Amino acid sequence: MAVKHFHHATLQVPDVAAQFQFYKDFGLTGRARGNNAVMRCKDRKQDQVIITEGSTMGLHDLSFGATKAGIRKIRKRAEERDDVSVIDPPKNAPYRGLWIRHDFDGMIYNVNDDPAAKSLGGVKPAKKQPEYKVNTPGHFYRVNEKLDLPIDTKPVPRRLGHMVHFTPEVDRKVDFYSDVLGLQLTDRSGDLIAFMRPAGGSDHHVVGFVKDKKPGFHHISFEVGNPDEVGMGGQSLLNRGYRNGWGFGRHALGSNFFWYVRDPHMGLCEYFSDIDYIAEDDKWTPRDWPIEVAFYLWGPPPPKAFGTNYTGNRKVVKPESISYSRV
């Protein structure tokens, strides 16, 4: 038995109010509670990002959902390993369940029995979503009508998709996620990066990890309605004065359209659309891809800072006031 879904991520930052405002500008909804804040996607009754106050920026913990029987199995596997510790819940933790620490890198994980809440995204949205009609040679679906895309469209994040973190050893994290949490390897690129997912129907990945000399937070990612919303979302945040992370482009592994934007603490937040989906695990074979073809299919060259681990950053960079005009 294994985890069923990615529940939420908890980030610690020096300025909770600035991070809270960033996620609101990104399109999430939320509420602030003292030195903490909780962010959700529209019409989804599930925490997606929890923000807690800390002296530096970093990933506090990752939370996954499982059945009660699954949690017991995961606990047993954790207790059988020398590099995993079962720990008490952090003070004021909003979720109980099982709390474990991967002693190799100090990362903390929560596994609870909270089921995945319905959302406006994914394979089966809770409500019917607008059809995205495109015209390609031999496949014209928008005929006798103009593209229905208002110029003031505000992208709506439908659901939390995945999270990527840094690790000193990719193989050790693959072993942990597969042996303890029961995730499956989807794709990788040598000892540089790997992507993993729950069995039984999932996006290409719910967690990924990139090699670096220390562990840390890289990015968190949310699905929006279509590629246009990816572009309009990224552009709207730049118009608000936030810093570009990387985009607009299309990834190779996962195949999704992307745009990353820097938050005030130098972390990244991604809009994505059109990601690979694995419905039947026996019909997908993990591959080890050369890095030159694994990163992205098209888009601007990634800036050097894209691969920088800013965990431990104390500086807060709020958006600059800019004047923007289309003419």
What residue type is 270 in one-letter code? E
Query: Would you list the domain boundaries of the chain?
Result: 5-114+157-307
pTM (2 d.p.): 0.96
CA 23/CA 80 separation, integer angstroms: 39
CA 125/CA 129 separation, integer angstroms: 7
Given a cut of 90, whether residue 29 has pLDDT beyond it is yes
What's the average model confidence in pLDDT over 236-253?
97
Strands (E), 190-306: 193-197, 202-203, 207-211, 216-223, 244-251, 257-262, 268-273, 277-278, 287-288, 296-298
The residue among 251, 166, 252, 179 whose CA lies nearest residue 216 is: 166
CA 48/CA 116 separation, integer angstroms: 11
Residue labelled with tokens 């009754």: 45
First to last CA, the chain: 57
Given a cut of 80, whether residue 121 has pLDDT beyond it is yes
Cβ-Cβ contacts under 8 Å for 92 (sequence gap 6 or more)? 36
| 145, two tokens | 């009508």
Under 8 Å between Cβ of 221 and 163: yes
In CATH terms, 5-114+157-307 corresponds, of 3.40.50.300, 3.10.180.10, 3.30.70.380, 3.30.70.3270, to: 3.10.180.10
pLDDT at position 293: 87
Given a cut of 70, whether residue 41 has pLDDT beyond it is yes
pLDDT tens, residue by residue, 4-13: 999 999 999 9
| 130, two tokens | 């607008």
| 288, two tokens | 């080890």
Given a cut of 80, whether residue 285 has pLDDT beyond it is yes
pLDDT tens, residue by residue, 167-201: 999 999 999 999 999 999 999 999 999 999 999 99
The residue among 127, 126, 128, 208 whose CA lies nearest residue 161 is: 208
Under 8 Å between Cβ of 221 and 162: yes
The Cα angle at residue 38 between residues 32 and 40, in degrees rounded to 5: 125
| 260, two tokens | 């990353």
pLDDT at position 325: 65
